[in-house]
Chain A
Amino acid sequence: MKICVLVKEVPDAAVTKRIDPATGRLDRSGEKNLNPYDTHAIEAAMQLKEGGELQVDEIVAITMGPESAVRALHKAVSLGADRSVHLTDEALAGSDVAATGYALAQTLKRENPDLVLLGQQSDDGECYTIGAVVADHLQAPSLTQVIKIDVAGGALRCERQAEYGYDTVEVELPAVISVGDAINEPRYPSLKAIMGAKKKPLDTLSTADAGIDAGKVGAAGSQVECGNFKAPPAKAAGTIIEDEDTGETVEKIIAWLDERKLI
């Protein structure tokens, strides 16, 4: 079977993020890195392959992004993917979540995977959603917030965090599973793997190659218009109490909490 892992290059968590005043979008000119959650997805793929219960023939890393996104693919390959696919096209710039999911789904259709894995959220703002968009386009079952994957027959038995506790869900393949960081501890790539990464096959696709309708992607094709960035409402200055009579101080605290229905 084939596992496709969707990866994304995001601004490094260490970088102070700002809006580029020139473009009105997230300033992505700083340091970039493979989305940490995606490393968990790759590790999950590797563990399924090494686990032996599923016959995994190939792990393919796929990303949609500008030229620099190849670094994320190299990293994914050094962590165990056999080859990678880079979807890149000017027309995709400014795509919102739904457009991005559509574009990735079209790319995945070419690969016809048995399982799609991805990190449940990315460091630059998207959360828990791309997997669901992709799954709807692929017409496959999907789950997010998955923190455990076991193989049961030919299906997957997943544990995921939900509103009321942990759910156990059995999912038939092909499926789209978004994983949380609690699912595993990603391995470090060996030096040999890092150095060998550039030699593994990397296919570059344009929107045309992937059968993507350019009218449905990019800033123009997206249904959401983001903008008008403003500062969050200023927080009112806090109250400071100097404790002299502790009994009194504690009374004041209780009153304060009560006012705000915290107690």
Chain B
Amino acid sequence: MAGILVYALHYEGAFNKNSLGAVAEAAKLAGELGTEAHAIVVGEGIADDLAAQLGGYGAAKVFKVEAPEGLAQPVVDAMAKVMTDNGHDYALFGGGLLGFEIGAGLAARLGAGVTMEVTNVTVQDGRLVAERPILGDSAISESRYKGVGIIIGRLNAFEVPASTGASAPVETVAVELSPWSTKAKLVKRGEQRGADVDIEGADILVAGGRGLGKAEGFEQLQELADAFGGNSAVAATRAVVDAGWYPYAAQIGQTGKTVAPKLYLAAGISGAIQHKVGMQSSENIVAINKDANAPIFEFADLGIVGDLNKIVPKLIEAVKAKKGS
């Protein structure tokens, strides 16, 4: 029976939010195709009722496989078996590194087509069509599959709805792992590296440029990032890194890092293209600059023309208040 199989990554008793988004997306698409979305969970000693929770996001059934966690190849073995036995037409992955590895390996195993960095999936003529940005996000390309299609989403591409609370039936599947799938052993998983904040993985970035006036300006930005809390970090433009106001690891732009957080708040940044190319895919861009002519106002979603030295302190208070409430 045709259908969509979604990989749900889990860690320490919770599902990865990108996976949940993928399950919901698959359920929606399966509905349009007149078929079902199933989920698959692979790991060690996964409780049935954890797996069943995926029903709340739209999974009609959840396959559970006992195998080493945190590695791609055992999942390739698992998904290949389930898809071959059950005839799924598509596999869907939420954004995330493991998904890329699994999806690609699965494509090789099944002789299927795979598309990565997908931002949107539609149904056309009874088939799934995946869209992905190309050429530095300046164009969108559509992928169609001759046979089985493997779709790997971009980070945060699929919305995560609230769970309906529904429970899905769980089917345990025994999978014989390929010999090479056991040749990689996870020694340590999920080590946090304290001081090194991951700019690229942050949900909210508060970035500072020359308009801050001095290196101390970054102290305020750090306060603002802390006020937002969660997965927030401070970033910088090349100009201020050059001036020694902030470390190179936080530099965004053509010669720095490329980011696409949910919120990019730019304070005192003019928005020259060398910087823009590093952050233009951010979901929401807010800019504070005293120069109304600054190029950043041409692509910011919310632009505030004003003195950041007046605005930022008040904003910090307001964010703290809002979060506290």
Q: A and B bound?
A: yes
Residues of A143-184 at the interface with B, using a CB-CB cut-off of 8 Å, are: 143-145, 157, 161-172, 175
Tell me the nearest residue of chain A to B19, going by C-beta.
Answer: A163
CB pair B145 A243 closer than 8 Å: no
Closest Cβ of chain A: how far from B118's Cβ, in Å? Answer: 12
Q: Which of A66-74, A82-90, A230-238 lies at the binding interface?
A: A230-238
Q: Which of B190, B301, B322 lies in contact with A239, CB distance below 8 A?
A: B301
Task: Give the docked Cα–Cα distance between A142 and B310 (Å).
Answer: 52
Verify if B50 is at the interface (C-beta below 8 Å from A): no
Given known pairs A169-B71, A246-B314, A254-B319, the reply for A223 and B139 (CB within 8 Å) is no
B144 within 8 A of A: yes
**Chain A residue at minimum C-beta to C-beta distance from B306:** A243
Stretch of A51-59, A132-140, A185-193 with 4 or more beta carbons under 8 angstroms from chain B = A132-140
The closest CB in chain B to the CB of A233 belongs to B140
B284-313: which residues lie under 8 A (CB-CB) from chain A?
284-286, 292, 297, 299-307, 310-311
CA distance A163 to B192 in the complex (A): 11
Whether a CB of chain A sits under 8 angstroms from the CB of B35 is no
Contact with A162, one of B98, B181, B228, B319 (Cβ below 8 angstroms): B98
| Partner pick for B135 among A17, A128, A157, A222, CB 8 A cutoff | A17
Q: Is the CB of A127 within 8 A of B191?
A: no
User: How far apart are A228's CB and chain B's nearest CB, in angstroms?
Assistant: 4
Report the Cα distance A17→B133, complex, angstroms: 13
Given contacts A168-B188, A243-B304, contact A128 B112 (CB under 8 A): no
| A204 CA / B322 CA spacing, docked (Å) | 65
Q: Tell me, in angstroms, the Cα distance from A216 to B113 when the chains sit together.
A: 11
- Residues of chain B lying within 8 A (CB to CB) of residue A18: 135
List, in ascending order, chain A residues with CB within 8 A of B319's CB: 254, 263
- Minimum C-beta distance from B217 to chain A (A): 17
Residues on the B chain within 8 Å of A46, using CB? none
Residues from chain A with Cβ under 8 Å of B233 in the complex: none
Quick one: given A165-B192, A224-B113, A239-B302, are A171 and B228 in contact (CB under 8 Å)?
no
Stretch at the interface among B100-108, B165-173, B234-242: B100-108
- Judge whether B187 is part of the interface by a CB distance below 8 angstroms: yes
**Complex CA–CA separation, A125 to B191 (angstroms):** 29
Assess the A129–B191 pair: CB atoms within 8 A: no
Tell me if B76 is interfacial: C-beta within 8 Å of chain A: yes
Does B318 make an interface contact (CB < 8 A)?
yes
How far, in whole Å, are A235 and B281 apart by their CA atoms in the complex?
11
Min CB gap B297→A, angstroms: 6
Known: A129-B104, A133-B108. A226 touches B185 (CB 8 A): no
Chain B interface: which of A33-41, A93-101, A106-114? A93-101
Q: Is the CB of B73 within 8 A of A142?
A: yes
A246 near B306: Cβ-Cβ < 8 Å: yes
- Closest B residue to A102 by CB, please name it: B108
A132 in complex: contacting residue of B108, B138, B191, B305, CB < 8 Å: B108
Q: How far is the CB of B126 from chain A (nearest CB, A)?
A: 16
Partner of B315, one of A166, A232, A235, A250: A250
Residue contact B183 to A222, C-beta cutoff 8 Å? no
- Write the B177-219 contact mask toward A (1 if CB under 8 angstroms, else 0): 0111101111111111100000000001000000000000000
Is A203 engaged at the interface, CB distance under 8 Å to the other chain? no
Query: Which chain B residues border A142 with CB–CB below 8 Å?
Result: 72-73, 101, 105, 184
Cβ of A76 under 8 Å from chain B: no
Least Cβ–Cβ distance between B175 and chain A, in angstroms: 15
Partner of B97 from the list A145, A222, A251, A257 (CB cut-off 8 Å) is: A145
Known: A18-B135, A246-B311, A258-B322. A239 touches B303 (CB 8 A): yes
A62 within 8 A of B: no
B191, A171: Cβ atoms closer than 8 Å: no
User: Do residues A253 and B144 form an inter-chain contact, with CB atoms below 8 A?
Assistant: no
A164 near B147: Cβ-Cβ < 8 Å: no
Known: A129-B101, A170-B185, A232-B139. A98 touches B302 (CB 8 A): no
A247 close to B314 (CB less than 8 A) = yes
- Min distance, Cβ B114 to any Cβ of chain A, angstroms: 6
Closest 4 CB pairs of A and B: A243-B306, A223-B113, A224-B113, A164-B190
Residues of B at under 8 Å CB distance from A?
9, 11, 16, 70-73, 76, 96-98, 100-105, 107-109, 111-117, 133-149, 178-181, 183-193, 204, 228, 262-263, 284-286, 292, 297, 299-307, 310-311, 314-315, 318-319, 322-323
Can you show 18 pairs from A to B with CB atoms below 8 A apart?
A: A17-B138, A96-B113, A130-B104, A145-B97, A163-B16, A163-B97, A163-B190, A164-B11, A166-B192, A170-B185, A223-B145, A223-B148, A224-B114, A227-B141, A231-B139, A235-B299, A253-B318, A262-B204
* Residues of A participating in the B interface, judged by any CB pair closer than 8 Å: 17-19, 26, 96-98, 101-102, 125-137, 139-145, 157, 161-172, 175, 216, 222-232, 235-236, 238-243, 246-247, 249-251, 253-254, 256-258, 260, 262-263
